[in-house]
Amino acid sequence: MAGLVRSLGASQPVARFQRYCGLFPAASGAAEGGARLAQGLGNGSGHLPRTGDLRNGGAGGATCNNSSIHSGKDHSHEYIVKNYFYYYLFWISAALGQEIFYITFLPFSYWNINPYVTRRLIIIWTVVMYIGQVSKDLLKWPRPCSPPVVQLEKRTTAEYGMPSTHAMAATAISFTFVAVTVDQYKYPFELGLMGAFLFSALVGLSRIYTGMHTVLDVIVGSLISGLLIVVTYPTWDFLDGLMLTSPWCPIFCIVVPLLLCYNYPKLDWYSPTRADTTTILAAGAGSIIGCWMSNHYLAKYSAEVVSPSVTAESVFTGLLRFLVGVGFLVVIRQIAKSMALRSLCSWYKVSIDDRVAKQQTEIEVPYKFITYTSVGFSATVLVPLLHKILGLN
């Protein structure tokens, strides 16, 4: 069993999967990566790098690309694509676990499916992502080593790998969606499970293809999400009731996420995990506060879920609602980000163009929190009001 775990956590299976899908290292990386891969495949080696090996090299002396930011090396563009079907399939699949998906799918489900579903998605997504992000910086397991692995993403190479938060989010959102909607909409449960499995599998495989996670990272991430869904499922209705009715909800949604962000595990170098975690918690907090305010002061949410009829007119209206809403959120995000960042930089007397200063906790956490709390609140309160004004409700 220990041998299987070491094998799944090694870089060689990732490199083999990339080669099978037509992704190869190029230029100087090809020879070195091929030699290391051949050596690893020949002797069956492939061990999990120890925590202390992250900056100085992983198993077998291979240098992990986590150190590329600090060493000046960048392997992210040294590759040859021989199968563009897999290349584009996994690039699109990887995007399904990134901010672009969250900022579109969750609002879309709120505006066009029903708020009942979205509120549960927001709860499980926020909890799962926070646990995943913190686990990375507590476990401190590195990403696959490059070479032999080709790493296609540059921004996330400074982060640790275990567990894969892409796999966690994809599993959590897809299976939660099925669990919430199967009793409300008439569709075969088996079909929903197949769709959820396909969605989470594509996102998980995309993280292996892009060289950002080992097989073990993806498996563990999916299992954690599955366990959290099973454990928290009995509490969803209770939490939803608190979210909508408790007078303490807005205070809780501000104080607790801020405490979690300010007390995020500290590293010896800058990693975007704290910023990403703040973004997630802030978006969730803003959305929940918006739901609470809507239920108290605008229009109470109905306990009865009405299945919308699908017609050409409803599809067009839904698409229009989505485009108007996303456009509005983009504007709100830019305004909130600019105002928060300028105010904080002025307060601390640093330049708004000083990248290092903006990465400090006292600036990064509040400006991210203000920005994405505004986005979440706007998605659940202001956009529906805008839809009503424009006759799109």
How far apart CA 60 and CA 302 sit, in angstroms, is 60
Active-site hit among 75, 166, 296, 387: 166
Name the burial class of residue 355, with classes exposed (0-12), middle (13-18) and buried (19+) by CB atoms within 10 angstroms of its CB: exposed
How far apart CA 206 and CA 153 sit, in angstroms, is 11
How far apart CA 156 and CA 174 sit, in angstroms, is 23
Q: Which residue has the tokens 């686990």?
A: 135
Distances (CA, A) of 233 to 106, 166, 177, 292, 330: 19, 21, 12, 21, 33
Helix intervals (H) in 44-183: 68-71, 84-95, 99-108, 115-139, 165-181
Amino acid at 37: L
Whether the CB-CB separation of 51 and 141 falls below 8 Å is answered with yes
Distances (CA, A) of 253 to 44, 210, 233: 50, 35, 21
How far apart CA 33 and CA 214 sit, in angstroms, is 17
Whether the CB-CB separation of 11 and 148 falls below 8 Å is answered with yes
How far apart CA 65 and CA 76 sit, in angstroms, is 9
Neighbours of 98 (CB within 10 A): 15
Helix count (H) and strand count (E) of the chain?
17, 2
Active-site hit among 47, 213, 296, 387: 213
Helix intervals (H) in 44-79: 68-71
Q: Which of 114, 128, 108, 231 is nearest to 181 (CA)?
A: 114
Name the β-bridge partners of 80: 24
Catalytic annotation on 166?
yes
Helix, strand, coil content of the chain in percent (nearest 5)? 70, 0, 25
The H or E element that residue 25 is part of is strand 23-25
Q: Which residue has the tokens 């050409």?
A: 312
How far apart CA 115 and CA 108 sit, in angstroms, is 10
Residues labelled catalytic? 166, 213
